[in-house]
């Protein structure tokens, strides 16, 4: 089992901060260099899948496709103002990847994002009720995960380690094993009447990644309700699944609309993108020359978090994604 160093954990904070800082274009390749340098600073591989060589294609465990457009774009209004016009996720158009940007020999994508529910993944446990019933319960899940999976760096001070594992920090851990046997999560669930062990919870979510998977989990902490510029990228370009569990903000929102701003935003791609750098490295949309331009709103899919779709699963090669241009969440977990 590969041990993740805490320098790597600290570097993981780039995941959302790099998007938040991008209020204007700084030249193509800047965003990608930032992403790669964040890992390089710790001596870690810039390939997040360095242990798994080659582009192994996984079997898609989800049969449905979001390709077909089913209705017109939807606009919602409140009594005081008109909300931004967002197409429903299934209505966002598929972006036709230019021939020059397609991975050689690739086939057309037909599945993009699939939602799963906590009730389906953990039936009869009572987790879904607790998760939606109390924001303090959700925060407790994030704290317990840190107790179970965060490994302090013995070379750093107690204060530094405390800052790195704080709820306001994005924490990068290995979900394959726990020094505590996932005891903190198990105890948290038991206190709230949830019939579920911590190990079953973490490994049940991680199993949705399929095989092969890397065994990493990042708790991406909220940056607040600031508006940022989309920064479109793929984490690796591999034909592998990423799993996200949303932690919505405790206070309701009208702008963005309810449920929008929890999950990653996505553009559905007709074909996998060619890899510009080393195998498995981050693919940044702005690195393609000549630049194809920003995506029109009709292509931008904004997945909605709600009861029955607390979990988002996608194949990295099938979409290009970004932190929300306007987020409204406590955090989001990303399993790979």
Within 8 A by CB and 6+ apart from 164, the residues are 6, 9, 10, 150, 153, 156, 171
DSSP state of 85: -
Shortest CA distance to 299 belongs to which of 239, 234, 230, 238? 230
Query: Is 216's pLDDT higher than 70?
Result: yes
Q: How far is CA 61 from CA 39, 210, 314, in A?
A: 31, 8, 11
Confidence band of 254 (pLDDT split at 50, 70, 90): low
The predicted-structure confidence for 230-241, as pLDDT tens digits, reads as follows 999 999 888 999
pTM of the model: 0.75
Confidence band of 90 (pLDDT split at 50, 70, 90): confident
pLDDT (0 to 100) of residue 280: 84
Shortest CA distance to 303 belongs to which of 315, 312, 294? 312
pLDDT (0 to 100) of residue 251: 80
Domain ranges across the chain: 6-329
Within 8 A by CB and 6+ apart from 57, the residues are 239
Residue 118, burial from CB neighbour count under 10 angstroms (0-12, 13-18, 19+): buried
Shortest CA distance to 223 belongs to which of 330, 297, 151? 330
Read off the tokens for 209: 């990644």
89 or 95, greater pLDDT:
95
The predicted-structure confidence for 35-87, as pLDDT tens digits, reads as follows 333 333 333 333 333 333 333 333 333 333 333 333 333 333 333 344 456 67
The predicted-structure confidence for 178-205, as pLDDT tens digits, reads as follows 999 999 999 999 999 999 999 999 999 9
Shortest CA distance to 76 belongs to which of 262, 258, 325? 258
């Amino acid at each position: 089992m590969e041990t993740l160093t805490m320098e790597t954990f600290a570097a993981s904070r780039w995941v959302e901060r790099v998007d938040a800082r991008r209020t204007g274009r700084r030249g193509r390749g800047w965003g990608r260099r930032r992403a790669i340098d964040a890992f390089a600073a710790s001596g870690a591989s810039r390939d997040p899948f360095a242990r798994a060589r080659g582009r192994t294609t996984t079997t898609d465990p989800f049969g449905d496709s979001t390709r077909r457009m089913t209705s017109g774009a939807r606009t919602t209004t409140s009594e005081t103002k008109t909300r931004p016009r967002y197409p429903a996720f299934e209505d966002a158009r598929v972006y036709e990847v230019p021939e020059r940007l397609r991975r050689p020999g690739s086939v057309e994508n037909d599945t993009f994002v699939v939602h799963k529910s906590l009730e389906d993944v953990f039936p009869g446990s009572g987790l879904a009720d607790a998760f939606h019933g109390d924001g303090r319960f959700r925060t407790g899940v994030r704290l317990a995960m840190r107790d179970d999976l965060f490994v302090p760096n013995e070379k750093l001070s107690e204060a530094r380690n405390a800052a790195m594992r704080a709820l306001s920090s994005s924490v990068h851990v290995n979900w394959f094993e726990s020094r505590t046997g996932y005891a903190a999560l198990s105890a948290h669930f038991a206190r709230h009447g949830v019939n579920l062990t911590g190990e079953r919870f973490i490994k049940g979510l991680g199993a949705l990644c399929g095989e092969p998977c890397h065994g990493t989990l990042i708790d991406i902490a909220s940056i607040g309700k600031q508006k940022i510029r989309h920064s479109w990228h793929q984490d690796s370009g591999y034909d592998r699944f990423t799993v996200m569990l949303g932690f919505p903000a405790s206070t309701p929102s009208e702008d963005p609309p309810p449920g929008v701003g929890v999950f990653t935003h996505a553009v559905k791609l007709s074909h996998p993108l060619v890899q510009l750098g080393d195998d498995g490295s981050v693919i940044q949309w702005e690195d393609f020359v000549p630049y194809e331009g920003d995506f029109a709103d009709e292509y931008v899919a904004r997945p909605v978090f709600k009861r029955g779709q607390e979990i988002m699963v996608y194949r990295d090669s099938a979409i290009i994604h970004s932190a929300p241009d306007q987020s409204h969440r406590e955090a989001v977990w990303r399993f790979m």
